[in-house]
């Protein structure tokens, strides 16, 4: 996936409401707590065409006790010509995680494409400031791939010892990762980012932050970036990726 002309800020009007069936071709444990599942795309990538963009996600429909449950996952290495991509699952106890643990080649899942989008930061930032965790690792990797010339600092919240082994697509010449063990519902991450990010964003108008953590942490950091650091709205791209039921 490169930074082409077509995807900046594109709303996927053509795809809205369309349903696709993805078929599993294989799966592997990346770590004990993170699983990659490979799919054929059921026509998704051809339909997306130039709308394909970094951080692109789909809504998958999982079934549990006869009820549908919608969960969002990020496309990994979409290959339009081959009609294939992967999804990477940060594993915990949930309907999507259980499905990913058990699925075998030939398994199928329904998907809807709705809500996904991405606006390339303009002007281009000197450094990407990325904040996330294993659930947003696929999106972080897609951003590192899409902006190969840009420096990046990543604050990465970990939950398991195995998270240190996760494949972050780092270019040691340009990228730096700071790992923070999750504590107190994200408070440790918030503290580190508040202490360390300001010196990397001396000019709020040209800084660019992309963040996706649990919803409460995302909300706290977004408010701080906007109000305390005075970053303009278009320089902060944030979305809560999961709800911490333990902290609720």
Is 28 one of the binding residues for ligand FAD (CB under 6 A)? no
Choose, by CB under 6 A, the member of 16, 169, 219, 243 that binds ligand FAD. 243
Closest to ligand FAD by CB, 96 vs 113, is 96
Choose, by CB under 6 A, the member of 54, 125, 132, 138 that binds ligand FAD. 138
Q: Considering the complex, what minimum distance in angstroms separates the CB of residue 206 from ligand FAD?
A: 26
Q: Considering the complex, what minimum distance in angstroms separates the CB of residue 88 from ligand FAD?
A: 5
Q: Which residues does residue 238 pair with via DSSP β-bridges, in sequence order?
A: 211
Choose, by CB under 6 A, the member of 109, 129, 135, 166 that binds ligand FAD. 135
Provide the pairing of β-strand 127-132 with 151-158: parallel
CB atoms within 10 A of CB 201: 21
Q: Considering the complex, what minimum distance in angstroms separates the CB of residue 195 from ligand FAD?
A: 24
Sheet holding 34-40, edge to edge: 67-74, 57-64, 108-112, 19-31, 34-40, 84-90, 76-79
- Return the DSSP state at 226: I
Phi, psi of 139 (to 5 degrees): -70, -45
Residues near ligand FAD (CB under 6 A) are 57, 71-74, 88-90, 92-97, 135, 138, 239, 241-245
């Amino acid at each position: 996936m490169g930074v082409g002309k077509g995807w900046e800020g594109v709303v996927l009007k053509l795809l809205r409401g369309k349903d696709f069936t993805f078929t599993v071709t294989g799966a592997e444990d990346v770590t004990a707590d993170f699983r990659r599942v490979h799919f054929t795309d059921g026509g998704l990538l051809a339909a997306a065409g130039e709308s394909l963009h970094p951080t692109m996600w789909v809504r998958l429909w999982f079934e549990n006790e006869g009820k549908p449950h919608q969960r969002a996952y990020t496309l990994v290495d979409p290959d339009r010509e081959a009609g294939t991509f992967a999804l990477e699952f940060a594993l915990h106890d949930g309907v999507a995680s259980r499905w990913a643990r058990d699925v075998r080649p030939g398994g199928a899942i329904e998907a809807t494409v709705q809500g996904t989008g991405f606006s390339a930061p303009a002007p281009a930032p000197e450094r990407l400031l990325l904040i996330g965790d294993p659930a947003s690792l696929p999106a972080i990797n897609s951003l590192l791939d899409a902006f190969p010339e840009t420096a990046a600092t990543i604050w990465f919240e970990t939950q398991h010892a195995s998270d240190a082994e996760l494949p972050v697509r780092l270019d040691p010449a340009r990228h730096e990762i700071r790992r923070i063990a999750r504590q107190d519902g994200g408070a440790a991450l918030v503290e580190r980012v508040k202490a360390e990010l300001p010196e990397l964003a001396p000019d709020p108008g040209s800084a660019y932050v992309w963040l996706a953590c649990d919803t409460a942490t995302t909300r706290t950091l977004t408010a701080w970036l906007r109000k305390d650091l005075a970053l303009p709205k278009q320089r902060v791209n944030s979305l809560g990726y999961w709800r911490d039921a333990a902290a609720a």
